[in-house]
Structure formats: C-alpha cells, structure tokens
Amino acid sequence: MDSLRSVDHAVMREMNTALILECLHQHAPLSRARLAEMTGLNKATVSSLVRELLDAQFVRENGLNTGDTGRPAIQLELNPTAGAIIGAEIGVDFISILLTDFSAGVLWRVYERTSHLDGQEAILERLSIGLGQAQDAAQKVGLPVLGLGLGVPGLVNVATGNVLFAPNLDWTDVPLRQALESRFSFPIHVDNEANLAALGEAYFGAAEGARHVLYIHSSVGLGAGVVLDRRILSGVAGLAGEVGHMTLEPNGPLCTCGNQGCWETLASQRALFHRIRDALAAGRESWLAEATDGMLAPLTIQLVIAAAKRGDEVTLKALAETGRYLGIGLAGLINALNPECVVFGGMLSLAHEYLLPPMRAEIERRALRWSREGADIVIAAFGADACAIGGVATVYHRVLSQPLAARER
C-alpha cells in the first residue's frame, strides 16, 4: 500500500510540474502567487515545484513585477538555455534540420537537396551526418540535446518509429527510429510531416492559442494534421491525417499510392506542375517556357510565383484550378471536423496569394455555413520550416508533459 501511495504521489507531482510549465509557456512571465491562482495549486506546492524547476534549469527568474499594486513579486519564465532541441524533416527532395533553444529560437540549421533516387541508405547517411552536426552545434553553446522530432512524408507507426509506407520516397517498412537510435543517445520521435507541422503551428505559429486546429500540408504530396488541445489526433495506429489519399475523382490521375483521383493528384505542388507542363505541351504560350529552357530545367514554386506576378495566363489558370481542388477537399474536412483554425502550409502555400481566392470560393460554395463561419483560414507562420519546427514542438511538448523524466535523462 505504501508503494502505491508513493507511485500516486510521484505521478501527481509530475502532473503538477507539467501544469506549471504549460502555464508558463502560455502566459509567462508569472509570479509564484499568480501561478498558484492560475493552476489551482496551493502556494506551498507551487513554491516547492518551482524550486525543483529552477534547480533543473527549466525555469528562470526574470526580475520583479512592479507594475501592479501591492508588493513586487519575482517573475518566472521558461529558461531558453534549459536545453537544445532538434527538429528535422525528410522531404521528397530535401533534408531540413533545425537546432533550437528551449524557447524555439533557431541556433543552427542546414537544408540539403536530395532525390529519392539516391536510395534509402544514402539519404539516411546524409541525415545522420546532419544530425551529428546539429549535436556538435549544441555542444559548442553548452546545451544538452533534449530530443529529436523527425517528420516523414508517409504513414508512420508513431509507437515504433517505423515508416510503414512513404510512396513519394518509395519506402516501405523502414525502422527509422531504430536506425537513428543506434547512432544517437537522445530521445527520438518520428511522425508524419503534416502531424508535426500542425503541432508546430499550434504551439508556436499561426494557430497558437487555438484548441481545434486542422493543418493542410501541400508540397509534392498532400497531407493533414489535426491538433486537439495541443495533442495530435493520431488515430488507433497513429495513421490519421492521410487525407491526400481520399478520392475526389474516381477516374482521375493515377496516384503514387496506386489509387486513382486522390486529392493530392489534384491539389498538390506536383498537380500544379503537371497542369503547367500539359498546357505547354499543348502549345500554349508562357513565360515559363523561356524561364525553364523549354521545360528542360525543373519547375519551382518560386518560378511559378514569378510567372503569376507577370500575369502569365497558363500559370494563373493552373493556380486557379489547383486552388479550386484545394477548396473542394477542404470543404469536406471542415464539414467533418468543424475546426476552429485551418492552417495552409507546405511549399504550395508560398503561392497563397493566388490559391486562396478560388479555395475560399469553393469552401463558401460547399461547406456548411455554421462550420465554415467558425473556421479561421490562415497561412502557416513557418512556411517550409513548419515540419521541422513541429519536430521541435513534439519534443518540447514531451518535456513539458514529463519534465522530471526529461531531467533524469
């Protein structure tokens, strides 16, 4: 019985500590007395837990509050130097790695172009080299690495860290976390790219403060992440959010997953580029033909935006069609999920100036009025960095949720 009481006490202490850290994350700077008011904990408990957090360097004191009436009180906030966090993304054609402090301030970064044709082993080797460089950068500024959050464009078993199926990478059943754990000693969390990006925007970005968030990530492929009260809606096997593979056109284009007419074949960066290439192949005149040397050079979102700014008709028509299909799919998700905030991210979101009007028009036409009026549609704050920042957010969330365990590690 005594051992059960001890376990119960330890669990309650961990929960109360997490509550204090979460409160500081959202509302700092705060005094001890204000923390007691906001958390409902008694002052003695708050003082004791704050003392532990100060000793563990997760929290720091930040001067006196002299603005309010009454006795000045010492203010508390999360300590940016509590540790470093690595956020990373394996994209279809790139690897991105960020190293941040405990307040998500970027300390170091690297972005490297890749190709799935390089092969799985080559990409993992390049990722490992980059992670090693990030670890070295943390050591140079004297910060321990608290963990790595890594996003992948595919189905991920979050419990095991295995990539089950990533069609745009041509990966199947890859034990990714296990491969990295053999090289690095810090905690490693692997998830779908859109899930991580959704969490990043909810914690630090465009959806900060929102409770029900739908994040749409459109790049080479298309996926979604749903965050409820700062927790990813993962599904029974951690596979929720694969909206890019819901069928919009039963006899539409063939998808890399083997299905036809998936949403991502109609509303992704790849779909946009296909529309432009098809128009040029049909003899339509476009500034992009000259800019890409007759389509011998690859298209990029930056080139597409430049063409749109020139009023290029082929480009504007392709963007309008892509935006229309984005809106059709989003209308169904808004009806189904009733989100408070819809965040549009990924590389395609860089062209939001041209995509949002047709997207909004379809949502206005197809979504239930009560659902669409409650959904604030915003552009991702972190753009192409959203997934890597989301990787930081997932480590950050785990540390805030179990600070004592993180300190012991």
From first CA to last CA, the distance across the chain in angstroms is 28
Collapsed DSSP state (helix, strand, coil) of residue 70: coil
Question: What are the phi and psi torsion angles at 69 (to 5°)?
Answer: -70, 155
Going 173 to 174 to 177 to 183, the CA torsion angle's sign is positive
Among the listed residues 38, 86, 136, 117, the one whose alpha carbon sits nearest the alpha carbon of residue 393: 86
pLDDT score of 409: 62
Measure the CA–CA gap between 95 and 127, rounded to whole angstroms. Answer: 7
Number of Cβ within a 10 Å radius of residue 379: 17
Lowest mean pLDDT among 26-40, 67-81, 274-288, 346-360: 67-81
Q: Is pLDDT of 355 > 70?
A: yes
Q: How far from 293 is each of 136, 232, 290, CA to CA, in Å?
A: 42, 44, 5
Please enumerate, as own/partner, the contacts of 7-14 that have beta carbons within 8 Å and a separation of 24 or more: 13/49, 13/404, 14/402, 14/403, 14/404, 14/405
Whether residue 69 is predicted with pLDDT greater than 60 in this model: the reply is no
Neighbours of 297 (CB within 10 A): 11
Q: Is the pLDDT of residue 105 over 60?
A: yes
Q: Distance between CA 220 and CA 194 in Å, rounded?
A: 12
| pLDDT value at 67 more than 60 | no
Supply the pLDDT for residue 293.
85
Per-residue confidence at 3, pLDDT binned at 50, 70, 90? very low
What is the pLDDT, as a whole number, of residue 146? 94
